[in-house]
Amino acid sequence: MKEETSVYRVPSGYEISYIPPDLHLNGGFFNLDRTYVKEGDGIIVNETFRLKRMELPKEDYDKLKTFFDDLPTKSQQRIIIKTAP
């Protein structure tokens, strides 16, 4: 298991416009969880990556390939800030 915490501070004169929804992806032999917490003038992002052993029937290879093909799009999230009024 790998856990990573990132803290993003919003500079003065800016405000948080958008925080992406929490992310929970299950690829069968691994899980990726990412949570976003707004705290004061910043955002805390907690990411957990878990691996597990499993056997995959050859009939499920196409599902796994599709999952990994879609993974970059599903896991790339953006926090948007804008100038404060």
Domains held by the chain: number: 1
CA atoms of 61 and 16, how far apart (whole Å): 41
Domain containing 72: what range? 2-83
pLDDT band at 54 (very low <50, low <70, confident <90, very high): confident
The mean pLDDT of 1-24, rounded to a whole number, is 94
What CATH number is given to the structural domain containing 41?
2.60.120.1130
DSSP secondary structure of 24-76: EEE-SSEEEEEEEEEETTEEEEEEEEEE------GGGHHHHHHHHHHHHHHH-
CA atoms of 34 and 64, how far apart (whole Å): 21
Structure confidence by residue, pLDDT tens digits, 22-40: 999 988 888 999 999 999 8
